Structure 1
């Protein structure tokens, strides 16, 4: 796949180690990755790069004005083409926390769990080549 056709994901987590680990997992799945440490930084990246981003992968608990659920609802409203995965090791989503089309993955997660989740939830036309081949 030519670099210009490799899709982008946006990873949002305030823990630098989890951010780095998730970035590596998504790169291994075939994504190019933007990183943000809170919702405000994420919305700034989205405002600039929304056309190339097809996946938001966000933690729930973050500093700042919005948590991961707030960010997911914002993305769902403004950029409905972006698929949404929310992750947490502390909070389970309650009714209405996430957009209907968003999915949840519990922490801790590993590469295999994330890749299987993405292979299942992403539409075929949005799967990077490594994920498409894995199915």
Structure 2
């Protein structure tokens, strides 16, 4: 896992999850997928990171509910408008059908998810972003 805030030329997966143990687990699981992983606790911090390094991010995996000014849905909407190349995986303990206006994501991953489901969702959006990889 890369250090917080480092911007390199490598493609990255950005994780935004406020629950420490889930953020660490997600980072460990996704570190083996390919792109480097950056894991942050709030959407506000995720947005700051994207302002510096958004051109290098391939996938955003974000919880819908995060503390701060922005939540995960706000962040997904900003990504869709400013960095349309970034694929978005939203995750939540809430049922996707009960949430409104979630048109800014590529995959929804309901909690509790399994490691295979997390890895599969991210691999799917990476493949969708780069059809030559199949």
TM range (shorter): 0.7 to 0.9
5+ long unaligned stretches in structure 2: 1-7
State the shift of 1:34 in Å. Answer: 1.1
Q: Offset of 1:90 from its aligned partner?
A: 2.9
Moved more, 117-126 or 71-80: 117-126
> If the length of structure 2 is used for normalisation, what is the TM-score?
0.81
Residue pair 1:9, 1:54 contacting (<8 A) in 2 also = yes
* 1:16, distance to aligned residue in structure 2 (A): 0.7
CA contact (8 A) 2:106 2:125 kept: no
Cα deviation 1:73-114 (Å, max 9, x = unaligned): 111111000000000113525342331x52200112222112
SS at match of 2:96: coil
Q: Confirm or deny that 1:47 pairs with 2:36.
A: no
- d(CA) in 2 for partners of 1:125, 1:78: 16
The corresponding residue for 2:102 is: 97
Note closer, same or farther for the CA distance 1:71–1:38 as it changes in structure 2 (3 Å cut).
Answer: same
Number of matched residues?
Answer: 125
Q: Whole-Å Cα distance in 1 between the matches of residues 95 and 128 of structure 2?
A: 30
Q: Which runs of 5+ in 1 are unaligned?
A: none
> Does the 8 Å contact 1:58/1:86 carry over to 2?
yes
TM (normalized to structure 1)?
0.80
Aligned-residue RMSD, C-alpha: 2.3
